[in-house]
Amino acid sequence: MGFKNFRLQVILRVFALVSLSFVMFWGLLRTEWQITPLISGLLAAICTFDLIRYVEKTNRELATFLEFIRHHDFSVNITNPGKGRVFSDLGGAYKLITGEYQRLNLEKEAHYLYLEEVIEHVSIALICLDAEGAVALMNRSAKKLFKSPYLPSGKAFARVDKNLPEILQRLADGERHLVSLKIEDETLQLVLYATEFQLLDQRYKLVSFQNIRDELEQREIDSWQKLIRVLTHEIMNSVTPIISLTGVIKDMLMSHDENRLAINELTNEQYEDLMRSIKSIESRSKGLVNFVRAYTNLINVPAPAFTTVYVLNLFDQVQTIMLPELERNRIRFKMSCPVDNLAIRADQQMIEQVLINLIKNAMEALTETAEPNIQLRAFQNRQGKVLLQVVDNGPGIDPVNLENIFVPFFTTKRNGSGIGLSISRQILHVNKGLLSVKTAPGKGCIFTLRFN
């Protein structure tokens, strides 16, 4: 008809439909007009169909638009400014929606590419397993580590190590596990760390494999060097006087012409010097024996008997043991555990031993503190790990000595053995825990026992 305005098009179609309906009914009333009602009725039906089709054209365009959106095709353009201002606004809205979807799609794609590049760039091997154990992601470092471009599932890691699939399956969220793998005649020390998350309706487990062989070897070398220095110092402190004293005794018992002297030939002064030398040799020899026993205790920490240990009960037991000594030294003691049923899996006697040792160390550090106090506290960190802490307000640890406090036989005490903290750390290790310290000169110490 040549008209472009939608409303005018609808009005004309309605007018034509009404007119044809009027003609049809008029013809039915006039019996001599037999063809007119038939033709007008047919034309009215055609007009009705055309009107419905024309009005529903917008719905069809919207359906087409949504279908294109569903298939991520934003090339469709349904703007039709020739149908009036209302349809121009509708076309503008379509255009805005299309532009926003395109922008979001581009941002999503860019974010995906960014994360993919980050994952591929990191030097730590990463694999992601779905709930069925299929490998959903494997970065470049993982492919390089396992010498394979693709591993379809967790079970496929059996070709690397027969125990690895079971380790991957049992690795819990937030858990660390140290494994030794032999890959193409190369032995690797790997730390596995798992994180579980849910994406839409699917559960995933992201596992990182960090090769710490070089770090472990360097740490082992450093530890041996520190231990050898301490052992050398302790042994030489005993052996040197023994050698010197045996030389003195030899000189006493030999005459100037190198003939042996009888005991009764010695003067009283020489005899007393001889006995003092023998007693000193005995004392230093006992010191060496005690040193060897201490070393034996250090390397022979017994296997723990794991039980569920409630922290409040543990603290009460430690308080019962230590309170008399704390009161004698006028040290204020406080316990803090906000959760009544807070528990750990450990050997209770071993952990008691560690806490008592740390409290005794704190007491010795507080001898010159004006208002000494020691606090025993427990809580859970953000990862849900249980932490036990022994806190004091003493002078703290000198930064020079801080890196050596866990080295066996290192001590700053006059009569200290230097194995207390070393054994404590060993005990925490066999109980699947970690002992650490935080300190600053003049601000006291915080020894933390963390349990996995």
pLDDT, tens only, 284-324: 777 777 766 766 666 667 788 999 999 999 999 899 888 88
Same domain for 439 and 404: yes
Residue 406 inside a domain? The answer is yes
Q: Please give the tally of structural domains in the chain.
A: 4
Give the model's pLDDT for residue 124.
Answer: 86
Closest-CA residue to 37 (of 24, 51, 55):
24
Residue 110 inside a domain? The answer is no
Strand order in the sheet with 176-183: 135-138, 125-130, 202-211, 186-199, 176-183
Give the model's pLDDT for residue 343.
Answer: 93
Same domain for 428 and 334: yes
Give the model's pLDDT for residue 257.
Answer: 56
130: domain CATH number? 3.30.450.20
Same domain for 368 and 237: no
Which residues of the chain fall short of a pLDDT of 50? 1-3, 81-82
Residue 217 phi, psi dihedral angles, 5° rounding: -65, -45
Helix (H, G, I), strand (E, B) or coil at 181: strand
Give the model's pLDDT for residue 132.
Answer: 84
User: What is the pTM (predicted TM-score) of this model?
Assistant: 0.50
- Out of 299, 333, 351, pick the residue that ends a domain: 299
Same domain for 418 and 323: yes
Residue 435 phi, psi dihedral angles, 5° rounding: -110, 125
Give the model's pLDDT for residue 28.
Answer: 76
Same domain for 273 and 225: yes
Helices 348-365 and 420-430 pack at an angle, to 10 degrees, of 150
Give the model's pLDDT for residue 32.
Answer: 66
- Are residues 154 and 132 in contact, defined by beta-carbon separation less than 8 angstroms? no
Give the model's pLDDT for residue 98.
Answer: 75
Which residues are paired to 310 by β-bridges? 343
Residue written as tokens 């062989």? 213
Same domain for 221 and 204: no
- Are residues 447 and 437 in contact, defined by beta-carbon separation less than 8 angstroms? yes
Residue 176 phi, psi dihedral angles, 5° rounding: -110, 150
* Alpha carbons 119 and 141: distance in angstroms, whole number: 9
Same domain for 281 and 246: yes
Closest-CA residue to 6 (of 46, 61, 65):
61
* Alpha carbons 74 and 96: distance in angstroms, whole number: 11
Residue 111 inside a domain? The answer is no
Give residue-wise pLDDT tens across range 20-42.
888 888 777 776 667 877 887 88
The contacts of residue 394 (CB under 8 Å, 6+ apart) are: 362, 365, 366, 369, 372, 444, 445
Same domain for 175 and 246: no
CA angle 239, 241, 244 (to 5 degrees): 110
Q: Which domain holds residue 243?
A: 216-299
Same domain for 231 and 175: no
